[in-house]
Structure 1
């Protein structure tokens, strides 16, 4: 699901005048400025070892001595929710339209051999279900289809590819989320490199990778959420150390991750809903 990436891209391409007007209207607090020294400190921290137990929890789609391809996206683990809601709305509209067709069929046959039978109730029900069915379908096509396409009409997953040969990182996103972006490995900053760069507790959040505008080659930073949602900071450290060692030292000595198929198996839309919740099940 590309909802967060889509909103981020809309914010990036929003005219500056509109952004300034919005912040002024809502009295938005100024964001903390990252000084060049802080930025360099985060980059240097990302070059250091973060864990003695590197491990990728995946999903990993390609892995060899040259490339590592993983899932990325903030709400990729919630994939399937939009599809379920979309199907429910479509089925609801079709059921209403089916009822209308049955009522129309009855009224038509009644008109051919009318003997004074009451038909007001059937006419009212036909009008009601026609309004509900066509109205719901129209509202969905006008306002809901744009969200459905995040899941049902696009590539199954957002992907990030680490290429240790070229020392580049490639983000594979739809055009309406910014498209494919190539970023330099040497400018990466990571939430798993040090606890002070991670969100409090790191519960239920995936690994964050970020490139400042000077490295992203754009007027905005690039923020990427990689892998599964974490149960704790240790999992983020292990995931990051796996990626760092692969890019800086190679795959030798790293545990081989389980390769996940690109085929959209049904359970892949259900099981990820529980990522980052293991600690709750344990207690």
Structure 2
């Protein structure tokens, strides 16, 4: 579920970028962004994107100044890691039970009057103990961090918009970047006019110039959709809520944090309803045939919800906007641990924005070379004149 967010955070603090001299001197895609491009995207995000604003959800809180929704780029794919992790954990538990069983038999044989050691029990205890220890050590070192992308972590990634403080709060686990507070002004959106209309999920972006943390921030919001108008309507709802207030906006349906079963099965079919209605009969039949796979993933999804806990905001963010309560400070580089700060400083060149405007492209001069054996009309005329001059008598 948090795979993309985890990979992005690992990319931001990757040591390879800071130690590779070629990476520092290379022209990466992020370095080709100019301040004029950033300003253009920010201005586009302030414009009207849809005439029918609608929040598709899930929305967990909605008031006069708070809008809290589900975030995350791969919520609909949640479940597969949970199934695989459950199988590995089950093997470890079975190995532990088998080791304890044969250890009991071994102790019973030693405790007898003749104190005879049962060689069969001793072999099985040694075998299962060694095998289970190897499984457990490998899982704790390599597998647990993958399991925590879906299990034994926060139940959902959250994004909270506070229109009174003009801030956006992102709730993520520490291994995905943690809880951060970002400014509303300076935000760009994939659903803004001129944005990435082909995106499947609404995404919001803050450049390194806006965050003041030497790296950009990005968050994906809500459900997956193949209809760009739904994504534009969702962004228009958020934009109008933050800039104008909740007046005139349709009240969204509030979703509970309790892990109901339907909350695990419905995400597997997000984005397929519009595609299903406009697809051919063969594709519809194929979707029906593979629907049991969606149900299996849904069971894993529900299992992951049951083995996670409800995310909780810090007190200063929960009380932000209330009378007499302080405004949360924006997250800065100093809020990170010292070793993370060093990594971010060393990789800052990857996300830097060039000042000024993008230089105009130079026109490329195209020169067509004449094919071998083909002479132009001018060449033919010049050769004919030279022949005539050679045939004339000299005086």
| TM-score, with length taken from structure 1 | 0.83
Tell me the equivalent position of 1:5.
Answer: 5
Tell me the equivalent position of 1:272.
Answer: 267
- Superposition pairs of residues 114-125 of structure 1, within 5 angstroms: none
- Superposition pairs of residues 27-66 of structure 1, within 5 angstroms: 30-31=28-29, 33-66=32-65
Tell me the equivalent position of 2:149.
Answer: 150
C-alpha displacement of 1:212: 1.3
Paired with 2:109 and 2:50, the residues of 1 have a C-alpha distance of: 78
Tell me the equivalent position of 1:238.
Answer: 233
C-alpha displacement of 1:30: 2.4
Find 2:242's aligned residue among 234, 243, 247. Answer: 247
Tell me the equivalent position of 2:306.
Answer: none
Q: Work out the number of aligned pairs and report it.
A: 273
Q: Which runs of 5+ in 2 are unaligned?
A: 278-283, 285-395
User: Contact (CA 8 Å) 2:53, 2:249: kept in 1 or not?
Assistant: yes
User: 165-174 or 73-82: which moved more?
Assistant: 73-82
- Superposition pairs of residues 1-283 of structure 1, within 5 angstroms: 1-15=1-15, 18-19=16-17, 21=19, 24=22, 30-31=28-29, 33-106=32-105, 127-194=126-193, 196-198=194-196, 201-202=198-199, 205-282=200-277, 283=284
Change (3 A) 1:275 1:125: farther
User: Contact (CA 8 Å) 1:100, 1:130: kept in 2 or not?
Assistant: yes
SS at match of 2:153: coil
User: Contact (CA 8 Å) 1:78, 1:269: kept in 2 or not?
Assistant: no
Paired with 1:53 and 1:221, the residues of 2 have a C-alpha distance of: 30
C-alpha displacement of 1:190: 0.3
Change (3 A) 1:22 1:239: farther
C-alpha displacement of 1:110: 6.4
Q: Which runs of 5+ in 1 are unaligned?
A: none
Larger radius of gyration: 2
SS at match of 1:138: helix
User: Contact (CA 8 Å) 2:226, 2:275: kept in 1 or not?
Assistant: no
| TM-score, with length taken from structure 2 | 0.61
Indicate the RMSD between aligned Cα atoms, in angstroms.
2.9
User: Contact (CA 8 Å) 1:54, 1:242: kept in 2 or not?
Assistant: yes
Paired with 1:237 and 1:220, the residues of 2 have a C-alpha distance of: 26
C-alpha displacement of 1:113: 9.4
